[in-house]
């Protein structure tokens, strides 16, 4: 449990080092900076896959992040991990936990030498784990004061391996749902506008399958298109809408729609980042389909109350998959099986009662457990524990 320091105690100076300052992290850092007794400063680098945005409501400073290749493998070098492992800079150092940082060992040893407690924040696993990589990650973890996970399942697995539960904390990934709620309410309060949107975009002729995320090969949208081809023969007026950027993958997928003869049933749109513009697509969808590799998108769909269909192989997913409950707020299909995917989609598209139940469960899941406040509670608890161990 988080306990605030007394008014006579100085705030805990926290140096939080991140590979980038991504938009979805802004509300998290803003909330953490607002907590009593926390003096936060974020040091961030830059990654091509995660564009930086301006800090809002907290102090931040750019620090160069390098990504050298060694023996054909991509590694990271973030000098901020080393330079801020000193009493002059902070009382607690929070850094990304992965052996991919070649300077992380030195930074953690320097922090220990200087009496600076450290919070290692990361997945705690890799989708393509190797025994030697697990050993390296565990060795790094032993140098930290405590571990902060994205999901409770991984934290429990570490506890089962003998880690002290007092050292294990969870900050379930979340997104800032305020803009979603505002946009959702705006459209639902004007049903005639939403009806006109559906008509203009030919979404009123049958059920709608939606995908919103980057277009990446590992997300297996080819399976979704193959399933759409099967379903279009059985369900009149079916539409599959794919929203996201990725020109190379989009070209491949559009060629598949031609091959399957479903160009008329499939629509591609570039990424939409304004929630007011994105909301009617979610509110017009019957099901959200992300064949593999789902992450924060599950939270986005659930705040709109759209149930999910995704693979039953958890190893191919990201930590946010813990939000998914098969047969409760969505359906899992047999990994890689197009017939199984089509069957799961058809079940939700044709069973109105089941869809309503799962839609309600999806909203309840995120409302109760996956808010920014709950996430920051976990981060703050780890920081306060580490501070007490310094």
181 token code pair: 């709620």
Check whether 84 has a pLDDT greater than 60. Answer: yes
Task: Give the pLDDT confidence of 40-80 residue by residue, as tens digits.
Answer: 999 999 987 777 899 999 999 999 999 888 877 788 999 99
Give the model's pLDDT for residue 6: 54
Three-class secondary structure of residue 256 per DSSP: helix
* Strand pairing class (73-74; 69-70): antiparallel
Phi, psi of 44 (to 5 degrees): -130, 150
195-219 average pLDDT score: 96
Taking the CA of residue 169 as centre, how many other CA atoms within 13 Å lie in the half-sphere pointing to its CB? 27
Handedness of CA 106, 108, 112, 116 (dihedral sign): positive
Q: Give the alpha-carbon dihedral of 152, 157, 162, 165, to 10 degrees.
A: 0
221-234 tens-digit pLDDT: 999 999 999 999 99
> Going from the N-terminus, what domains does the chain have, and what CATH number goes with each?
12-174+371-388 (3.40.50.2000), 178-369 (3.40.50.2000)
Q: Model confidence over 324-344: pLDDT tens digits?
A: 999 999 999 999 999 999 999
Provide the percentage of residues in the chain whose pLDDT is more than 70: 97
pLDDT single digits (tens) 288-328 = 999 999 999 999 999 999 999 999 999 899 889 999 999 99
Say which residue the tokens 């750019």 belong to: 62
The whole-number pLDDT of residue 180 equals 95
> 7 pLDDT band (50/70/90 cuts)?
low
Residue 219, token pair as written in the block: 């997300």
Burial of 342 by CB count in 10 Å (0-12 exposed, 13-18 middle, 19+ buried)?
Answer: buried
Q: Taking 50 as the threshold, does the pLDDT of residue 269 lie above it?
A: yes
- pTM to 2 decimal places: 0.86
Instruction: Tell whether the model's pLDDT for residue 1 goes beyond 50.
Output: no
Look at residue 129 and tell me whether its pLDDT is greater than 90. Answer: no
pLDDT band for position 32 (50/70/90)?
A: very high
Please determine, for residue 364, whether its predicted confidence score (pLDDT) is greater than 60. Answer: yes
Beta bridge partners of 14: 40, 92
Average pLDDT across the chain, whole number: 94
CB proximity list for 158: less than 8 A, separation 6 or greater: 124, 147, 149, 168
| pLDDT for position 5 | 52
Query: Residues 138-160: pLDDT tens digits?
Result: 999 999 999 999 989 899 999 99
Average pLDDT over residues 168-192: 95
Check whether 99 has a pLDDT greater than 90: no
Separation CA 187–CA 184 (nearest Å): 5
3-state helix, strand and coil shares in percent for the chain, rounded to the nearest 5: 45, 20, 35
């Amino acid at each position: 449990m988080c306990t605030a320091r007394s008014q006579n105690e100085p705030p805990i100076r926290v140096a939080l080092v991140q590979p980038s300052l991504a938009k979805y992290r802004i509300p998290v850092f803003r909330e953490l900076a607002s907590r009593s007794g926390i003096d936060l400063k974020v040091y961030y680098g830059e990654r091509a896959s995660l564009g930086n945005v301006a800090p809002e409501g907290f102090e931040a400073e750019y620090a160069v992040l390098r990504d050298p290749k060694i023996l054909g493998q991509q590694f990271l070098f973030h000098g901020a991990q080393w330079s801020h492992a000193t009493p002059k800079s902070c009382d607690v150092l929070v850094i990304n936990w992965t052996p991919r940082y070649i300077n992380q060992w030195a930074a953690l040893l320097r922090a220990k030498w200087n009496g600076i407690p450290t919070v290692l924040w990361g997945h705690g696993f890799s989708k393509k784990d190797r025994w030697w990589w697990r050993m390296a990650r565990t060795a790094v973890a032993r140098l930290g004061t405590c571990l902060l996970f994205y999901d409770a399942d991984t934290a429990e697995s570490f506890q089962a391996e003998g880690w002290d539960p007092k050292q294990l904390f969870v900050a379930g990934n979340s997104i800032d749902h305020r803009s979603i709620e505002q946009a959702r309410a705006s459209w639902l309060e004007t049903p005639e506008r939403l009806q006109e949107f559906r008509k203009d975009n030919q979404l009123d002729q049958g059920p709608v399958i939606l995908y919103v995320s980057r277009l990446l090969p590992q997300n297996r949208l080819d399976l979704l298109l193959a399933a759409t081809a099967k379903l279009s023969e059985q369900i009149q007026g079916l539409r599959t809408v794919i929203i996201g950027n990725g020109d190379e993958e989009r070209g491949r997928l559009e060629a598949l729609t031609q091959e399957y003869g479903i160009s008329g049933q499939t629509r591609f749109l570039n990424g939409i980042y304004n929630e007011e513009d994105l909301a009617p697509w979610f509110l017009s969808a019957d099901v959200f389909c992300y064949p593999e590799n789902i992450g924060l998108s599950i939270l986005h769909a659930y705040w709109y109350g759209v149930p999910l269909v995704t693979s039953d192989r958890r190893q191919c997913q990201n930590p946010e998959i813990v939000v998914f409950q098969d047969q409760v707020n969505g359906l899992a299909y047999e990994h890689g099986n197009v017939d199984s995917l089509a069957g799961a989609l058809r079940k939700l598209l044709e069973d109105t009662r089941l869809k309503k139940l799962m839609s309600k469960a999806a909203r309840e899941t995120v409302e109760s457990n996956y808010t920014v406040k709950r996430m920051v509670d976990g981060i703050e608890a780890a920081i306060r524990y580490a501070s007490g161990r310094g």
